[in-house]
Structure 1
Amino acid sequence: MIARPLSATLGQFVRVPFEGATYRRLVYLLLAGPLGLAYFVGTTTGVSTGLGLSVTLIGLPILGLTLLAVTGAAWLEAQLSRVLLDQETATPTALSTLHDAIDDPDTGVVGACTAFLVDATAWTSLAVVLLKSVFGLVAFVAVVTAGSVVGSLLVAPLVYDAPGMAYQTGSYTVTTLSGALGLAGLGVVLGLVSLHVLNALADLGGYLTDALLSIERGEPAE
């Protein structure tokens, strides 16, 4: 196996801020935060309400609608993965199963609901949503933390000698231009590393979604 030239590896490392795919992945990670929160609130509210009313005729329809909404959220996650991560992510077959059952004049409401419920992706969609609730928090914190740390280092040459303030990072107070430039250089390196790590984190989110939703098929559905 021929070793990859060092120049090519270095070029790939420093090219990451200039690639559009990098920023699409950052958008994916930033969206994961609010979406994950919405998934968690919506799912827990629907399930708790449905279970609380399960002794009545209202509880089961609420649980069914919650599962349908969860499957729709998993479909959205698959689309985000396809558009923002360029991954051929599988979508829940439960939705197409339900659609086909509804279109079939020989299938009643009970039959359509049964077809939906026995499709494994209706339940793996629930796993996707619960997983993305946690992933969204991790992703959002990672992006914000990396951005704030790298940003504070990069602006050091601009603010280290600002009147009325002392620029300090950790226990080190910057008082010279050379020190500020050194921090900015560290910020560039840390920024490049952070972008690669965040890219990998975004790709992981897409792969997890595909792994859970491709359970019913060998190839992702269009």
Structure 2
Amino acid sequence: MTATTPKTIPEYLDQLRQALAGADPALLQDALYDAEEYLRSELAAQPGVDEATLLASIATSYGAPDEVADIYRQTESTVVQALRPPPKREHRSLPGKFFGVLADPRAYTSLFYMLLSLATGTLYFTWAVTGISLSLGLAILIIGIPVAILFFASVRGISLVEGRLVEAMLGERMPRRPLYTDRDQSMMARIKTLFTDPRTWSSMIYMVMMQPLGVAYFTFATVAISLSAGVAAIPVIDLFNHHGTISIGDWYFRLPLWTLPLTIAAGVVMFVLTLHIARGIGRVHALLAKHLLVQSAA
């Protein structure tokens, strides 16, 4: 049990934050949001009960902060174990390690994320630039204030959606709940927090960065897939064309018959390399998203 029984909901959440020190920031964000939602709903359901008395009784039902922290750690471990794919067969040989990526689902989901990033990156960039432009352009008018507030709030919502995509496709644990806000603060204080929170600004930076990153990811993925498929498909193309004839502009040349199996092998190797690179890019991008979109646990 926690040494000091919290008297208010913010004190309870502070103790929960301390009890989860060192945990994944995404897990901490989810735990704080869930705890606040539960405590607020209990307080609203019992309007005649003092907040300190209610928290004392909740310690025996919902749990004290350190008990709740232990439950979240155990649940997170259980969920991770349940969602973890079956252990892959360890390949000791170099060819086995190289071609083993063909059986790794994360390589394919990372490649799909790279293809999808052109659309999401364009959407994020357009929304960020438009929102910033409107907020600055209307700043001299009264309407500029609510426009800016709505835009900054939407940035948090978009970061949550992007986090779900990153977790589903790239495998990095991301928040599943919105960012915790102290509801005991006044509306002005909460709006000020929205504007001064570094994570809001880093989320906007991420949205702007996704445009060039999305173009680069999509270009690499489409070019790599096209090249590997084109090289591997040369024998198939040969069925509908002159034997082994390849044309580049006005330049024609023929491949000997014995080289056709080699072109298939070359195309497969190129595709395997594409999967390796896509998986590596996915891991790096997941770390970037975690750093820019998730509230620090500090």
Q: TM-score range by the shorter chain?
A: 0.7 to 0.9
Q: Distance in 1 between matches of 2:131 and 2:205?
A: 15
Change (3 A) 1:204 1:174: farther
List alignment gaps of at least 5 residues for structure 2: 1-89
Change (3 A) 1:47 1:61: same
Change (3 A) 1:60 1:114: same
Shift of residue 48, structure 1, vs aligned partner:
1.2
1:52 equivalent to 2:131? Answer no
> Percent identity at matched positions?
23
Structure with bigger gyration radius: 2
Shift of residue 175, structure 1, vs aligned partner:
4.1
The answer to whether the Cα contact below 8 Å between 1:40 and 1:129 also exists between their aligned partners in 2 is yes
The answer to whether the Cα contact below 8 Å between 1:74 and 1:92 also exists between their aligned partners in 2 is no
Q: Distance in 1 between matches of 2:137 and 2:194?
A: 23
Equivalent in the alignment of 2:237: 159
Higher relative contact order (CA 8 A, sep 6+): 1
- Partner of residue 186 from structure 1, selected from 266, 276, 280: 266
Equivalent in the alignment of 2:53: none
Shift of residue 67, structure 1, vs aligned partner:
1.9
1:137 equivalent to 2:215? Answer yes
Shift of residue 150, structure 1, vs aligned partner:
0.6
- Partner of residue 179 from structure 2, selected from 84, 87, 96: 96
Report the TM-score when normalising by structure 1: 0.81
Q: Distance in 2 between matches of 1:172 and 1:126?
A: 51
Equivalent AA in structure 1 for residue 237 of structure 2: V
Deviations 1:132-167 (A, max 9, x none): 222111111111111111110010111124247943
1:121 equivalent to 2:204? Answer no
The answer to whether the Cα contact below 8 Å between 1:50 and 1:63 also exists between their aligned partners in 2 is yes
How many residues in Structure 1 have an aligned counterpart in Structure 2? 207
Report which stretch shifted further, 150-159 or 204-213: 204-213
Deviations 1:37-90 (A, max 9, x none): 00111111111122111110111222222222222222222222212122124x
Equivalent AA in structure 2 for residue 123 of structure 1: W
Equivalent in the alignment of 1:173: 253
Q: Distance in 1 between matches of 2:235 and 2:278?
A: 26
The answer to whether the Cα contact below 8 Å between 1:160 and 1:175 also exists between their aligned partners in 2 is no
Q: Distance in 2 between matches of 1:34 and 1:126?
A: 17
Q: CA RMSD in A?
A: 2.7
Equivalent in the alignment of 2:123: 38
Q: After the TM superposition, which residues 64-83 of structure 1 pair with which residues of structure 2 at under 5 Å, given as runs?
A: 64-83=149-168
List alignment gaps of at least 5 residues for structure 1: none
1:110 equivalent to 2:195? Answer no
